[in-house]
Structure 1
């Protein structure tokens, strides 16, 4: 189970993108970037954040700690922005808190070049989870305490927006990945053998049942969890034809990337 905390103060919205996450303080004295249940594409984004983020952590990648945060209906009463106030009111209850990394810098390819094996591992992992949101336009990588941290996995597992078309062999173009110019041999990635049924069951069990209930085509939250497990197992251990190494895109950061918001001075 993810630790559960309660929000005590809404600090500021992060206005890049359509989901409008916010910086929030909690009763454990921590500061978090909160992804709201009723924002953007809804609870499926939070499900993707948990499954992808916690799977990444267990495979050895650094990701900010995730917690479930409870929003009191009074939290947004004094918020002057009507859009934010409506979002906080609609999202009363359980939402997702991502540990805020003060002073973290957005990934700059010219300032930090990854080890070829690390780059290959991360490309394979993003292909596994269908993560199309780690390109040079928006790397979703942060440099913090001299290490690279993975953030923002809400766009991963996008097949769950239409389960009928979910395909474990759907191609993933590695050429668009921000680390493609630095990657070693993608065919030698050893992470697949570590993606086991037990691991996937443990990760999917972290998702609150209420975020999986009433999913079209499924009879229970557990049935949805089982579908994620089977899909990722088949992708990890089936033919690897889905990993297509196209021509690497230009290795340069996109302007105003999400990493800008994680710098302590912007909060």
Structure 2
């Protein structure tokens, strides 16, 4: 199952393994006794004799053991609302129904909130931070990363430097839908492979061919044809159409500034 960016692997009736892949982490399913990759960091031995290898070249990935339901809830306590409703989440698990996997089951998800326009509005209210910074904060929305934040903001025609508290209700509604749409496209295309991402079967994703603005700086906007530009927001490379996503400094500038008057 999954919660935000964390994979949750049921080990037995009282333990969970929480995994954050970070930059280069990936799982690969292997036959028992298969050759070891030189970047292998952990091996999970399955009942059918196969092995699930955790491979991480840059060693940024994290694995954490959670004991019992309370331990899992504590592990996930800081995560914000879930932007994607899917069968991978833990809310469908029930106690006493462990099936063949023998994994832990519980009735209530550790954080049952799903992202809505109302939940975003509550988190953005009064905030002066750039909207991109808040969307990357896992306490605001669980699971969003740099690629999908750029894509969602473009879809919603919102500049990443807009202060979160300046967004109106209609803009927040469009942003909420844009987040859903950007993530749904990524899931449908089995992920975005820009360098070394692979799924558990060793297959690359194809969403990189469908991106609208991310890493397309210098190329024409798919909507208006203006060249996409790259800037930095919260120390992250950020991709923007300067026409579709109006710079907040331009929004606040008067269209016809008054001419200075000469005093006597």
Q: Which has the larger radius of gyration?
A: 2
Indicate whether the TM-score tops 0.5.
no
Q: TM-score range by the shorter chain?
A: under 0.3
TM-score, length basis structure 2: 0.27
